[in-house]
């Protein structure tokens, strides 16, 4: 096979593999809901979606939550995290739910997964469905031009950084998270442009994984890109039920291929 030359700009990661059981007819992918107490319409849309979906499995590819400051936040009975977990737990009784970290909820840990009855998914993972291979990723790792973020990501994913962050009192962590969010909001307002997925790196990943399709979120730029002959990059939509028009969408995989399904707001 003749592959286009792709400069190796990043180390190709190790790919976990998940083979879909043969009884799965449809799989849904969602990401970037950025669930938060201040956006109740999106939370309601998520609940409505979970209660109504006919998918045989749900894959959440990161940034389900706007922020996750530690699994102990779930133990506060009336916390937003406890509520989010209850929604997931109810859904997980009907269908398998898989959760991949995003750059906002990367601190969601084993207690979160166990408490919600959902399964963690490594980034990246290859899903084998109907004899085809799909690379699943949040997508942040592929935004190579975002050099400052890549540096932060490396640090924040280390055991030492996480241990140090998590030893602080919950209230302190919540305050810190608010500060980081305000900074990011200010950056957005300033019109700063965000890096997009690096095409050569995405191609390198797909070739290494033996896959024809990469499905990711993170960039909030939903589109289907053909990167090279037979290689496509499919970008999930973020969710915002209060936007005009609302952004609520799932990507559904079946034997017919991939299809974007708009969801009706409540
Ligand atoms: Mn993200």
CATH number for the domain spanning 35: value is 3.60.21.10
The annotation status of 224 as a binding-site residue, yes or no, is no
Would residue 2 count as lying in a domain? no
Q: How far apart are the first and last CA of the chain?
A: 49
Quick one: residue 63, left, alpha or beta (phi over 0 = left, psi -120 to 50 = alpha)? left
- The DSSP symbol for 192 reads P
The predicted structure's pLDDT at residue 194: 83
Is 56 known to sit in a ligand binding site? no
pLDDT given for residue 34 in this prediction: 97
Domain annotation covers residue 187 = yes
Does residue 207 sit within a domain? yes
- Give the chain's residues under pLDDT 70: 1-10, 266
The SS3 call for residue 232 is: strand
Residue 71 in any domain: the answer is yes
Burial of 96 per CB tally in 10 Å (0-12, 13-18, 19+): middle
> What is residue 114's predicted lDDT score, i.e. its pLDDT?
98
Cα of 101 from ligand 1 centre, angstroms: 9
- Give CA–CA dist 74/119, Å, rounded: 17
- Give the tens place of pLDDT for each residue, 161-201: 999 999 999 999 999 988 888 888 888 888 777 899 999 99
- Print burial letters for 38-75: b (CB count within 10 Å at least 16), e (below 16): ebebbbebbbbbbeebebbbbbbbbbbbbbbbbbbbbe
Pairing of strands 16-19, 57-61: unpaired
34 belongs to an annotated ligand binding site: yes
Give pLDDT, residue 231.
97
- Residue 3 within any structural domain of the chain: no
Q: Structure pTM?
A: 0.94
Domain range for 168: 19-262
What per-residue confidence (pLDDT) applies to 33? 98
pLDDT, one tens digit per residue, over 199-218 is 999 999 999 999 999 999 99
Separation of CA 1 and ligand 1 centre (Å):
34
CB-CB neighbours of 188 under 10 Å: 10
What per-residue confidence (pLDDT) applies to 10? 60
Residue 29 CA, ligand 1 centroid: distance in Å: 15
Matching residue, tokens 């019109």: 191
Give the separation between CA 228 and CA 226, rounded to whole angstroms: 6
For residue 189, tell me if it sits in a domain.
yes
Asked whether residue 158 is marked as a ligand-binding residue, the answer is no
Residue 11 lies in a domain: no
Provide the CA 189 distance to its chain's centre, in angstroms: 23
In a domain, 1, yes or no: no
* Backbone φ and ψ of 60, nearest 5°: -100, 115
> Structurally, how many domains does the chain consist of?
1
């Amino acid at each position: 096979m003749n592959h286009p030359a792709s400069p190796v700009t990043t180390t190709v990661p190790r790919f976990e593999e998940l083979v879909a059981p043969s009884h799965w007819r449809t799989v849904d992918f969602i990401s970037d809901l950025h669930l938060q107490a201040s956006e109740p319409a999106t939370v309601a849309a998520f609940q409505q979606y979970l209660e109504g979906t006919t998918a045989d499995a749900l894959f959440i590819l990161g940034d389900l939550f706007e922020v996750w400051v530690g699994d102990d936040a779930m133990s506060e009975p009336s916390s937003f995290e406890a509520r989010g977990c209850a929604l997931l737990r109810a859904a997980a009784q009907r269908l398998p739910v898989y959760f991949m970290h995003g750059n906002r909820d990367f601190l969601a840990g084993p207690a979160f997964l166990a408490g919600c009855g959902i399964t963690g998914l490594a980034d990246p993972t290859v899903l084998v469905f109907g004899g085809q291979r799909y690379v699943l990723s949040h997508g942040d790792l592929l935004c190579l031009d975002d050099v400052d973020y890549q540096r932060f990501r490396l640090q924040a994913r280390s055991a030492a950084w996480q241990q140090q962050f998590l030893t602080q009192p919950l209230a302190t962590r919540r305050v810190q998270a608010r500060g980081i969010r305000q900074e990011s909001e200010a950056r957005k307002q300033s019109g700063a442009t965000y890096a997009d997925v690096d095409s050569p790196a995405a191609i390198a990943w797909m070739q290494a994984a033996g896959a024809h399709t990469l499905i990711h979120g993170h960039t909030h730029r939903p589109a289907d890109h053909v990167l090279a002959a037979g290689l496509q990059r499919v970008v999930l939509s973020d969710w915002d039920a209060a936007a005009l028009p609302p952004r609520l969408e799932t990507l559904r995989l079946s034997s017919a291929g991939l299809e974007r399904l708009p969801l009706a707001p409540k």
